[in-house]
Amino acid sequence: MSSNLYDRIVNQRGSFENLVSRIPLLGKHIESYFDMSAQRDADRIVREHIASQLRAQVVRMADAENLILDSGGLRMMSKTRAEKDRLQTLADRIGTAAPGYAFTGALKISHEQLADVFAFDEAMLRYVDQITAVVDKFVEAARTNADITGVLAELRAVVDEAAHAFDLRRDVINGLA
């Protein structure tokens, strides 16, 4: 595991209530986090929410690409497409990942271990916020015909870190099983 990113995510852990407030459907399945037989539902709800938020950003990028094309920015399309594809790949990985903390058998998870999983779920929501902010910059740059090279580099960095964090989340969950 990459200890710097892992430590940062675990240390930035918020309350479980914060996680539930960010994913409204999860509140209806709050017991799913604590009921071993229903944890697949909680994991699916969290991942589907995050993936849908990321896919919405992919759509926004596609719309902004049309603005760039309309203003003669054909030369930037390969770069914008590459970053949009990276974001789409992350959304697809999250949305189609195998259920995480749905354990079989009599495995017991401590509250601290479960809190670590919550920390990674919450971190993924923070990455959605960061990605949304960078896509906002991208859309604005496309709208004003500004240089998008720096914004694309920023998007790449955030998406790469989010993908790494999702890998760490999987490692944490696999370590519990």
Q: Where are the domains of the chain?
A: 3-176
Encoded tokens for 88: 């789409």
pLDDT digits 0-9 by tens, 156-170: 999 999 999 999 888
pLDDT digits 0-9 by tens, 89-105: 999 999 888 765 544 44
Within 10 angstroms of residue 71's Cβ, the number of other Cβ atoms is 12
pTM recorded for the entire structure: 0.78
CA-based R_g, the chain, Å = 18
pLDDT digits 0-9 by tens, 54-90: 999 999 999 999 888 877 777 788 889 999 999 999 9
Q: What is the pLDDT of residue 172?
A: 80
CA–CA distance, 115 with 93 (Å, rounded to integer) = 23
pLDDT digits 0-9 by tens, 25-45: 665 555 555 555 556 667 778
Cβ-in-10-Å burial (0-12, 13-18, 19+) of 48 comes to: middle
